[in-house]
Chains A and B, each alone.
Chain A
Amino acid sequence: MINKEIMVVDDEVLIRNLLSEAFNRVGYSVISVGSGEEALELLNHHDIEVFIVDLGLERMTGFDLCEHIRIHNPAAFIFALTGFCNLFGSGEILKAGFDNCFQKPFNVEHLYQSVGEAFEKIDR
């Protein structure tokens, strides 16, 4: 059984804390960072397979980060969080390389389900 570690990338500290607490509570360890640049820096030393990424990050956007992660780890599971569903349909978000997307405000149960399924696939 692999270590159930996920990375949360969101520049809103409240969202980072909320997701860290929620996933810690159900047995995951969470690395949370506030920018795409920090995420890439950490990925130089950490192997992480499951990501929850805000699309609207300030410098490097969530789309850009997803692209970078995919270059190094095409099999990673990357889930998008977005407050911009008015501008991007889920089809466009999936086409950009995400495995699923969740509109803010999100239901954490839906995230548990997607993350859980991702680890089941990794365990196989």
Chain B
Amino acid sequence: MRLKKPAARKEIKRILIIDGDVKFRKMLGRMLTAEGFIITEASNGEMGIQCQMEQPADLVIADINMPIKNGIETIQSLQEMDSDTRFITVSGGRWYGADVEFDIVQKLGAVTLEKPFKKQKILETIGQFRS
């Protein structure tokens, strides 16, 4: 008996960046646009959810520490909307309780990256999702 191959996941074309740091969003967005991705940006979790409702992205790159709705709550809401969306969470270093939060987002299926990360690192991470 042949095992049925799992359905291939969507290729990553559209990426949503959710981060309160406008400079980081713009610079990361520019770099990823140059790599051929279509980028949308949101400055907090609620705006990110709104963007995802209007124009769903295949991958969401979200900061963990955000006002209004933090990265964990945002990922949970977005996963309920579409379980096929993939996530990378980014954070600006370690804080009290960071390990617990990293652990939670990893259990939610997100890959975590610490800022500042190199271009090669995030492209490799996106590449892993693609394969």
The residues of A with any CB-CB pair to B shorter than 8 Å are 55-58, 61, 63, 83-84, 86-89, 92
Give me 12 other A-B pairs in contact (C-beta within 8 A), A86-B119, A88-B31 excluded. Answer: A55-B27, A56-B26, A58-B22, A61-B27, A61-B30, A63-B30, A84-B27, A86-B116, A87-B28, A88-B27, A88-B119, A89-B119
State the Cβ distance, A64 to closest chain B Cβ, in Å.
Answer: 9
**Does B23 lie at the interface of the complex (its beta carbon under 8 Å from any beta carbon of A)?**
yes
Are A87's CB and B31's CB within 8 A?
A: yes
Q: How far is the CA of A86 from the CA of B23 in the complex (A)?
A: 14
Size category of the B interface is 10 to 19
Q: B: which residues have CB within 8 A of A?
A: 22-23, 26-28, 30-31, 34, 116-119
Q: Interface on chain B toward A: helix, strand, loop, or mixed SS?
A: helix
A/B interface sample: 6 pairs, CB < 8 A: A56-B26, A58-B22, A63-B30, A84-B27, A86-B118, A87-B118
* Residues in A neighbouring B34, C-beta threshold 8 A: 92
**Is there contact, CB below 8 Å, between A87 and B22?**
no
Binding site secondary structure of chain A: loop
